[in-house]
């Protein structure tokens, strides 16, 4: 039996999807470690620590490795034969950066299998908290980086994105400037993905081009660090960054720590990637033509694309795809968080939320909400608090519909630059379990929404990447269509089909929603 594991180290949890890649192609196991619930000692809320003003958002890397220990113990105790694992890979929340001191390499090489990982690695962190994608404290640094490269258009042409607060370049610049002594003591800066891969192989791992695209530091067409961007970010940065290697490269074999403690054999560790690039693979979006939607902590819309042409409006991103080629993506910070705020404000659970969604008409009788509960990324605004039009805050049912409709219309608007006409949407993420939400997506996009069987496309994508890279490294390369076979087919009787009366209602509402956003932006500038 040939097993492959894909991890997804996301904002709120670590997921592992174990697949059998031989004759029988199936998901063998899936486990989730929820950080707040299962690792309460780290004191996170939804996986992060947030400053009083809401702008600085970090997470402890020690929690992510503690979750890895917990996960492997759970897989072993659930009877997964870890000695049969041929390769592992992973997906991680994008943009977050981990700062490591000179003892990192030595600590990885000498991990003691009798003791848990977290206390052994805590002392190699040059800063105990990693800034993560929800951070929006670096507007000044973004401006400086943009000026140094010659404007937002030039930066997007070079790196695939204009400067974003959450992207790693701005975060590194802020750290180097505000804590120069700690920066001087930092000998390696990893992304969450390459940090986790390093721990698994007990040595410094490379970054793949998919996740490196989320740094504002990589020359996207060349898939190499841009010396101009590095120089504009922080002194002596090149030696602090890991090498960039193909997404299918082998970072090493799994470290002795994991063999002794959990019974792994010679499993390969395949370079990790970002959660959105991995979800692209897990949803089977290798070729162009279909849209992926991930309804997780963030909401993202994405699709494979052949060229690295940036979003003309500046809101979206182009990343390298881990299957080769590129992917276009737009990310919204007000995803599950906004839906949860509305759910909690009216004392609902998800069943009650869905019932209210179904009890209200498409178009909500003209009531609108721009769901900016936290500062939004797309478009970048500092506004905090939802904007309501013709919507009574006391009306639970209409607010529930308004938040989901507002999100779906924003997705439609900001997917237009890379997917002007969509016939099928593949959905994943925690909220994709909710068919009432999927129905609104189908109606707003006038497209069929389908689901694949494994609930977490990012960890499935990582497992499929492990399978693909293992075959390549073993001299038996497998085309992507064969890799995906049996894993990414749409589930029958799931998802949602567009209903024509609802489609017409949203076609009428969309220009009003666009005008409301434009009006709000004008007033906030
Ligand atoms: P991430 O990978 O970003 O950590 P997930 O994709 O695991 O996030 O999604 C977690 C979110 O899914 C939770 O925060 C919750 O709001 C949402 N969720 C879970 N079940 C439902 C449901 N039935 N309806 C709507 N949202 C849900
Ligand atoms: C993408 C983004 C988020 C994170 C967390 O640009 O910031 O989707 O990857 O999932």
Reported as a pLDDT band with limits 50, 70 and 90, residue 286 is confident
Contact 240, 171 (CB under 8 A): no
Ligand nearest to the backbone CA of 34: 1
Q: Which residues contact 424 (CB under 8 A, 6 or more apart)?
A: 290, 291, 447, 448, 449, 450
Residue 115 CA, ligand 1 centroid: distance in Å: 33
Helix axes 500-524, 435-445, angle to 10 degrees: 80
Shortest-distance atom of ligand 2 to CA 94: 9
Q: How far apart are CA 362 and CA 503, in angstroms?
A: 8
Shortest CA distance to 378 belongs to which of 426, 318, 317?
317
Alpha helices in 29-184 (DSSP H): 35-38, 61-77, 104-109, 117-122, 139-149, 152-159, 168-178, 180-184
Percent of the chain at pLDDT exceeding 90: 92
3-class DSSP state of 497: coil
Q: Pocket of ligand 2, candidates 90, 133, 322, 380: which has the most ligand atoms within 8 Å of its Cβ, to mutate?
A: 133
Q: How far apart are CA 452 and CA 428, in angstroms?
A: 8
Tally Cβ neighbours within 10 Å of residue 497.
12
What is the full DSSP assignment across 424-445? EEEEESGGGG-HHHHHHHHHHH
Shortest-distance atom of ligand 1 to CA 12: 4
Q: Pocket of ligand 1, candidates 336, 340, 344, 354: which has the most ligand atoms within 8 Å of its Cβ, to mutate?
A: 336
Residue 432 CA, ligand 1 centroid: distance in Å: 8
Reported as a pLDDT band with limits 50, 70 and 90, residue 525 is very low
User: What are the structure tokens assigned to 376, written together?
Assistant: 């939004």
Residue 457 CA, ligand 1 centroid: distance in Å: 13
Q: How does pLDDT run across 85-94, given as a tens digit for each residue?
A: 999 999 999 9
Q: How does pLDDT run across 210-239, given as a tens digit for each residue?
A: 999 999 999 999 999 999 999 999 999 999
Shortest-distance atom of ligand 2 to CA 294: 8
Shortest-distance atom of ligand 2 to CA 214: 6
Q: How does pLDDT run across 12-30, given as a tens digit for each residue?
A: 999 999 999 987 889 999 9
Q: How does pLDDT run across 478-524, given as a tens digit for each residue?
A: 999 999 999 999 998 899 999 999 999 999 999 999 999 988 876 64
Q: Which residues contact 258 (CB under 8 A, 6 or more apart)?
A: 72, 200, 264, 267
Q: How far apart are CA 20 and CA 28, in angstroms?
A: 6
Q: Which residues contact 492 (CB under 8 A, 6 or more apart)?
A: none
Longest dimension (CA), the chain: 64
**Burial level of 103, CB count in 10 A (0-12/13-18/19+)?**
middle
Rounded to an integer, the average pLDDT of 468-484 is: 96
Q: What is the mean pLDDT of the chain?
A: 96
Rounded to an integer, the average pLDDT of 59-71 is: 98
Token look-up 């890895």 returns: 68
CB within 6 Å of ligand 2 — which residues?
10-11, 93-95, 133, 166, 214, 274-276, 296, 298, 300, 331
């Amino acid at each position: 039996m040939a097993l492959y594991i894909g991890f997804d180290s996301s904002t709120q949890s670590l997921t592992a999807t174990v697949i059998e890649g031989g004759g029988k192609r199936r998901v063998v196991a899936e486990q989730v470690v929820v950080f707040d619930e299962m690792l309460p000692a780290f004191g996170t809320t939804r996986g992060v620590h947030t400053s009083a003003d809401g702008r600085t958002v970090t997470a402890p890397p020690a929690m992510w490795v503690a979750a890895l220990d917990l996960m492997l113990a759970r897989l072993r105790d659930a009877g997964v034969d870890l000695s049969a694992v041929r390769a592992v890979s992973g997906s991680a929340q994008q943009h977050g950066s981990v700062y490591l001191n000179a003892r990192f390499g030595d600590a990885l090489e000498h991990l003691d299998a009798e003791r848990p990982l977290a206390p052994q690695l805590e002392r190699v962190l040059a800063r105990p908290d990693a800034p993560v994608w929800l951070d929006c404290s670096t507007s000044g640094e973004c401006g400086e980086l943009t000026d140094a490269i010659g404007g937002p258009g030039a930066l997007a042409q070079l790196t695939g994105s204009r400067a974003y607060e959450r992207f790693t370049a701005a975060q590194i610049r802020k750290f180097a400037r505000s804590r120069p002594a700690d920066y001087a003591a930092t000998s390696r800066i990893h992304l969450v993905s390459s940090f986790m891969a390093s721990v698994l192989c007990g040595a410094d791992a490379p970054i793949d081009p998919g996740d490196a695209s989320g740094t504002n530091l990589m020359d996207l067409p060349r898939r190499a660090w841009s010396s101009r961007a590095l120089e504009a970010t922080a002194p002596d940065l090149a030696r602090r960054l890991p090498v960039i290697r193909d997404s299918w490269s082998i970072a090493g074999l799994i470290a002795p720590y994991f063999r002794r403690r959990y019974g792994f054999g010679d499993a390969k560790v395949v370079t990790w990637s970002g959660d959105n690039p991995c979800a692209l693979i897990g949803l089977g979006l290798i070729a162009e033509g279909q849209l992926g939607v991930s309804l997780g902590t963030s909401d993202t819309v994405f699709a494979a694309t052949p060229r690295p042409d940036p979003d003309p409006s500046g809101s979206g991103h182009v990343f390298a795809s881990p299957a080769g080629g590129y992917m276009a993506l737009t990310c919204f910070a007000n995803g599950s968080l906004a839906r949860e705020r509305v759910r909690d404000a009216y004392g609902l659970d998800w069943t009650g939320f869905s019932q209210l969604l179904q009890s209200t008409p498409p178009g909500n009788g003209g009531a609108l909400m721009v769901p900016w509960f936290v500062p939004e990324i797309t478009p970048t605004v500092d506004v905090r608090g939802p904007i309501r039009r013709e919507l009574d805050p006391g009306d639970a049912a209409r607010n529930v519909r308004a938040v989901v409709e507002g999100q779906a219309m924003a997705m439609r608007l900001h997917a237009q630059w890379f997917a002007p006409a969509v016939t099928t949407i593949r959905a994943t993420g925690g909220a994709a379990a909710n068919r009432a939400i999927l129905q609104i997506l189908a109606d707003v996009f006038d497209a069929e929404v389908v689901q694949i069987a494994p609930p977490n496309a990012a960890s499935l994508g990582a497992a499929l990447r492990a399978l693909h890279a293992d075959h390549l490294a073993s001299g038996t390369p497998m085309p992507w269509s064969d890799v995906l076979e049996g894993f990414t087919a749409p589930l029958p009787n799931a998802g949602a089909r567009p209903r024509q009366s609802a489609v017409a209602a949203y076609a009428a509402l969309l220009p009003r929603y666009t005008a409301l956003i434009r009006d709000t932006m004008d007033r906030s500038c």
